[in-house]
Amino acid sequence: MAQPVRSPSGRDGRRDREALDDRVGELARAGVAAQIVPWNFPLLMLSWKIAPALACGNTVVLKPAETTPLTALLFADVCRQAEVPPGVVNIVTGDGSTGAYLVRETGIDKVAFTGSTEVGKAIQRELAGRDISLTLELGGKAANIVFDDCALDQAVEGIVNGIYFNQGHVCCAGSRLLVQESIHDQLVRKLKRRMATLRVGDPLDKNTDVGAINSSAQLERISELVQSGVDEGAELYQPPCRLPEKGWWFAPTVFTNVAQSHRIAREEIFGPVLSVLTFRTPDEAVEKANNTMYGLSAGVWTEKGSRILWMADRLRSGVVWGNTFNRFDPSSPFGGYKESGFGREGGRQHDERRPPVQEQAGRESVGNVRKDQRPGGHQRHELYRPRQPADGVVGGQPRGGLSHSHLIGESAPLPQFARTARGLRPFWCSTTATIFLSALVSTVSCASTTL
């Protein structure tokens, strides 16, 4: 038999993995996680939600956006082919009413939502008074702050990437550009020149810079806010470009002479629209950047590292980029302040998602979840396989003949799948789960490019 790999500390690598598994399971295991993801990055958001949940021993019920369900359904089929046990990964499709039903379900232990601030507030109201952990990643109105000592051409590329990437359908898009007054005119000229080179068209064409808008409703929202900017006196610029005749399209747009009272400077547009404001001093830049109900991200462009750190310490944003924008590291947490939500995704901050400590002693059985009293008054929720099939499950399979399909429809009510999930051991409380999920996501990504 092969010898186990030794770790740098001299211990068995297997023991290290077991210790890590125990720590991850103790800190982050919740039970059944209800997850709702938006339409702007459907597969990326799915992987952000599902991978950590499974790796920590949870089971998931995920609802994709009604306009982008295909990647989630394809992922479900990949799970079926990989023989993921039924009830571990469940996909529910539908509109907002389906998501509301999922949040109201009594069999869930955790809710993770990415989407609009309005819906996030509704979810928080619904869960008030219930012993359910909640993570919200909501809207943003990020400030991209450019100082006069920056590398201007590099900053222009970062500005374009920050707002026009993915047609501006990005929660952390740099939709507010704060420019130091002394370089305002020069930067705007460079920015307009760069915008004239952007190509609008087929999103499946690798040469396209700005693709299609997600839906007619979103296009109407963008158009309405852009018109409000014109009506309030801001100066609009759109580069000359031919838009495809079929589909929903909007040309990359920049507004100058914008006041902080304008709607385009206050409300999330979620489209390829940039508002330019000016500042004179770093203190004024901080004041204007923080003058928003959101607090998801920000960017700072300057050659002085000390200034970046000074700004980052004062900006009320969950993420602050220095001389770059929209760069992500899986080991770093992502999340916001204020009406951009709370909780973090990525990094080790999932440790903070542990279930709320309850004031009770001894052991109590709740459905298929056993709660053990932990030293110091803390408790740990552990999932155990039931001795008998859970209610709504026959022979370990959900009623309705869906078995491994992982797809929930009207023929298989959600509570049946939730109870199925609660009755499973944490098969995925292992570091190998992350590798497994990465392979699945890669498979779905390759398959989706051929659709």
The one-letter amino acid at 256: T
pLDDT score of 439: 52
Asked if the model's pLDDT at residue 394 lies above 70, the reply is no
Asked if the model's pLDDT at residue 264 lies above 70, the reply is yes
Residue 14's pLDDT band, with cuts at 50, 70 and 90, is low
Asked if the model's pLDDT at residue 429 lies above 50, the reply is no
Of the candidate ranges 71-85, 108-122, 357-371, the one whose mean pLDDT is the lowest: 357-371
The one-letter amino acid at 261: S
Q: Which residue has the higher pLDDT, 399 or 275?
A: 275
Give pTM, 2 decimals: 0.76
The rounded distance, in Å, linking the Cα atoms of 87 and 77 is 13
pLDDT score of 427: 40
Residue 318's pLDDT band, with cuts at 50, 70 and 90, is very high
β-pairing, 397-398 vs 393-394, is antiparallel
Percent of the chain with pLDDT over 70: 71
Asked if the model's pLDDT at residue 355 lies above 60, the reply is no
| Average pLDDT along the chain | 79
Report the topology of domain 13-138+346-448: Aldehyde Dehydrogenase; Chain A, domain 1 (3.40.605)
CB neighbourhood size of 23 (10 A): 12
The rounded distance, in Å, linking the Cα atoms of 97 and 231 is 35
Fold equal for 13-138+346-448 and 144-329: no
Identify the active-site residue in 105, 137, 339, 345.
137
Residue 265's pLDDT band, with cuts at 50, 70 and 90, is very high
Identify the active-site residue in 79, 171, 172, 429.
171
DSSP string computed for 274-297: EEEEEESSHHHHHHHHH-SS--SE
172 is catalytic: no
Asked if the model's pLDDT at residue 127 lies above 60, the reply is yes
* Reduced 3-state DSSP string for 429-443: CCCHHHHHHHHHHHH
Asked if the model's pLDDT at residue 188 lies above 60, the reply is yes
pLDDT score of 332: 87
Of the candidate ranges 8-22, 120-134, 146-160, 237-251, the one whose mean pLDDT is the lowest: 8-22
Per domain, the residue ranges of the chain are 13-138+346-448, 144-329
Report the topology of domain 144-329: Aldehyde Dehydrogenase; Chain A, domain 2 (3.40.309)
pLDDT score of 366: 30
56 is catalytic: no
